[in-house]
Chain A
Amino acid sequence: MTSRSYSSLITHYSLLITKFMTPERWQTVEETLQAALDCPASQRADLLAKACAGDADLQRETTSLLEAHEAAGDFLEQSALERDAQLLIDSDDRQTRAGTAIGPYEIIERLGGGGMGEVYLARDQRLARLVALKILPAYFVSDAERLRRFQIEARAASALNHANILTVYEFGESDDTHYIATEYIDGRTIRELIAGESLTIADTFDIAGQLLHGLSAAHAAGIVHRDIKPDNVMRRKDGEIKILDFGIAKLIEDANSDVSLLTSRATSRTEVGAVLGTIGYVSPEQARGLAVDERTDIWSAGVVLYEMLAGRRPFSGATNADTIVSILERTPAPLFGDEPKARPLKMLQRIVGKALSKDAGARYQTAAEMLSDLTEVETEMAAGSRKNGGINAETTLVELRELAEVRASASRFALSIATLAVLALVVIAGTVLYRRSVARRSIPPPVPTVYAQMNEAQQLQFINEQEQRVSAMMGERPVKLNDEALRAIKVVVDRYMAPPQPGEPSLSEIYARAPAYLPVIANEFNARRIPIVVGIYLPVIESAYQPCFENVAGAKGLFQFMPATAEHYGVARADMCDVNKMAPAAAHYIADRMAELGDDSQSMTLVLLSYNRGAQSVLEELRLLRETDVHYERNFWTLYANRDKLDQTFRNESAYYVPAFFAAAIIGENPTAFGLNMQPLSTQVPNRER
């Protein structure tokens, strides 16, 4: 008998059993099973014999379930999505693990990805330069002719060699993987800049101006982008605007018109948007599926300009279909109210209105025309500040929108009583209203005090405030953390807040361990004039406050010393679990690192970093930075912001060390905000003296 037919026999047998199993019978079986599971394994056989007296089937069924229970192990313990997420990561990793070579490129890390393919930071080994490597999904490149047309177009745009158009270095293929290597941009997308809410009017002019410059050059060469949107435009750190992805939109359109793809990816042009991106930026002619020319890019540039100014999209709807209807039929809400008083606002309104004409013939016919009108507004704004109602280039867009709202209500009022005298009053009313509106805005809606209930912006704000508090406790000179730094802390906070993995201690368990060790830690750190907050929270990130924890590398104890280091600081291998020996060693170790750091030890964040990886390497990083033109405050955050210029060691491990410390301290100092039932750890230190 082959094993195949044997196993199908079992299947039939088992099906038979299942078939005859009734809910009532199952109830009996389950009761027996549960009783057996409740008693010690050694007594199960007896129990079964008794419980199943005279019912051999019951005994057999229960026994096989007991065996299944033993064998099941972690069966189903990982949820379906968890499993799939792991599969996704594994499969992506297999394809493009860091260090993998794709053609001449060595993958460094993944930058992002989506419908158009994954993008990686990679190094061109021939030229030792960094590139952004976009891997095209197989379904986009299955047609050789389509791919060829795409390459021609993308190459043509790149060949313009225009400052505002992303340079394409190379198209390539390696083991059936098609890729595009492009210039690597150190910056942010306009989408991110809009979300950051810090754009000024001057920024908007600058971005729109450069965007139009780039488009103008492309259009002159007969190349239409077709997918201008805030995600496809980046601002480099030095302010240069780059338009990404010429040619891609066309490729996607072509690919999606292929019948073979319609079944799963999308069923109509409309839904292409749902899967691939956002429909809000397409022109009416695009939405209708008509032929497009450069004026479609003018429309999309108008949408982007509108969104930058207003902070919202001109056309949107609950569904894609609604958005399309809005694009085809609706006039967007005026940018600055019905009748903006300030001339520049009026001019801007007109420019955006013209770019967003449904009829392509009524739009700006060239990017240059639109650019010229924009430049005029810019000049106007720079020149006559009196007429402009206090609006100038440095006005942030958020302020501008508030002003516009006030004006809108003021001008409606003005219409009903149309006399000059009253107009004067309106100005006053406007001012009062503005003040009031500012006052109203300055009373924010009640912010939740529990971290988990805050939205992301509130969480970042909270972390911002608390970082400053902890910094002050550390004696750190106050610096303003940028968004990226705050997010680095937030990542760790969120990780701590996530339910623990099986076998991991919970957050409250970790913090509950601390008080027992606080007296000795405080004593030793005080004695060496090191801020005790450092001593309190280092063990959280080092050993989760487990006095005898040993990591895979062999570091051990509350403060995680390597045995040789411990010995050097007078702690024998056998004593590494002893906090009374480890705490003074840790304080001593830190004091030595501070001595090595010299002046730089005034920054406690640098001291923390040197705890993680030695003072010499920190000094080396600082020296590297000094060679560049960085003039920031010397502290960890400076290193963090410039970590691309530093070595790999810094990036991988140390980049998270100090953020992790702050996360631990922020949680420990705000227990109620994080659902911990305890006092802030720093207040639990007996006889606090500094």
Chain B
Amino acid sequence: MLRFEVNFVDVLPMMALATESELTSLLDDWKHGDPSALQKLTPIIYDELRRIAHRYARRERNGHTLQTTALINEAYVRLAGEESRDWQNRQHFFAVTAQVMRHILIDHARRRRSLKHGGDAAQVSLDEATAMTNERAAELIALDEALAELAALDPRKSQVVQLRYFAGLSLEETAEALAVSLMTVRRDWRAAKAWLYKRVMSNE
């Protein structure tokens, strides 16, 4: 009987994905003040994320957890085209990536919220594509707002959270990216987490 030669690493790419240069130029457009570039990035990012996620999910022998660290790294490297861009250094790369990721996710969450009642067909299809639920959107927006408040109180702690949460960095990598000690990051993280948790919960 015939079947695809299913390679559990690289399944048949039915559709070629956006190339790195296309991603790069969208990012550039956005940096130069074109807010619509962010909206165009969203489906691309999620397509990419879905593809990578499924690939990693298949690798798990028992299929219960996701090998996410590798996943995140791959997504970010592709998103930022690490090799093809002129990053001043690793810190710069991570800082920009975290910021971009935060903007993309929050922007999507906000549009989801504001368009929810309009029945916008495009938004509905995008929501389908990104699997973003109301709860998830609310969660992201609340976190974003709390993070902005934290930034006013304690910029470094908000940086730590941004790097950890939006760029997926470990404590060690965060320490490296911010050029502070691991101990400092650990302490910043636990305090920031408590503060944000309290802040976000009080809004529920």
Contact flag A81-B14 (CB < 8 Å), given A10-B202, A37-B190, A262-B122: no
Q: Are B122 and A261 in contact (CB under 8 A)?
A: yes
The 8 A-B pairs of least Cβ separation, nearest first, read A114-B15, A79-B168, A68-B198, A139-B125, A91-B131, A85-B53, A69-B194, A498-B70
Cβ distance A365 to chain B, nearest Cβ, rounded Å: 29
Q: Which residues of B contact A68 (CB under 8 A)?
A: 194-195, 197-198, 201
Chain A residue nearest to B126 in the complex (CB): A264
Contact flag A644-B1 (CB < 8 Å), given A72-B194, A114-B15: yes
Q: Which residues of A contact B77 (CB under 8 A)?
A: none
* Alpha-carbon separation in the docked complex, A116 to B120 (Å): 20
- Asked if B32 is at the interface (CB within 8 A of a chain A CB), the reply is no
Cβ-defined partner of A34 (8 Å) among B39, B69, B187: B187
Q: Which residues of B contact A319 (CB under 8 A)?
A: 21-22, 25
* Alpha-carbon separation in the docked complex, A484 to B7 (Å): 6
Choose, from A275-283, A354-362, A438-446, A676-684, the stretch at the interface: A275-283
Q: Are A26 and B153 in contact (CB under 8 A)?
A: yes
- Asked if A570 is at the interface (CB within 8 A of a chain B CB), the reply is no
- Asked if B132 is at the interface (CB within 8 A of a chain A CB), the reply is yes
Report A310-322 CB contacts with B as 1/0, cut-off 8 Å: 0000000011100
Q: Are A85 and B201 in contact (CB under 8 A)?
A: no
Q: Are B101 and A80 in contact (CB under 8 A)?
A: yes
Return 5 A-B CB contacts under 8 Å, by A number: A11-B202, A111-B6, A320-B22, A494-B70, A653-B61
CB within 8 Å of A: which of B98-144?
101-102, 105, 120-126, 128-133, 136, 140, 143
* Alpha-carbon separation in the docked complex, A492 to B193 (Å): 34
Report B156-169 CB contacts with A as 1/0, cut-off 8 Å: 00000100111110
Cβ-defined partner of B72 (8 Å) among A72, A79, A266: A79
Contact flag A66-B194 (CB < 8 Å), given A319-B21, A487-B7: yes
Chain B residue nearest to A276 in the complex (CB): B15
Q: Which residues of B contact A494 (CB under 8 A)?
A: 70
Q: Are B8 and A491 in contact (CB under 8 A)?
A: yes
Interface set of B (CB-CB < 8 Å, partner A): 1-19, 21-22, 25-26, 36, 39-40, 42-44, 46-47, 49-54, 57, 59, 61, 65-72, 75-76, 101-102, 105, 120-126, 128-133, 136, 140, 143, 149, 152-154, 161, 164-168, 170, 187, 190-191, 193-199, 201-204
Contact flag A34-B191 (CB < 8 Å), given A114-B14, A261-B121: yes
Contact flag A186-B131 (CB < 8 Å), given A65-B198, A69-B194, A79-B168: no
Q: Are A119 and B12 in contact (CB under 8 A)?
A: yes
- Asked if A138 is at the interface (CB within 8 A of a chain B CB), the reply is yes
* Alpha-carbon separation in the docked complex, A192 to B128 (Å): 29
Q: Are A88 and B22 in contact (CB under 8 A)?
A: no
Q: Are B193 and A277 in contact (CB under 8 A)?
A: no
Cβ distance A555 to chain B, nearest Cβ, rounded Å: 13
- Asked if A671 is at the interface (CB within 8 A of a chain B CB), the reply is no
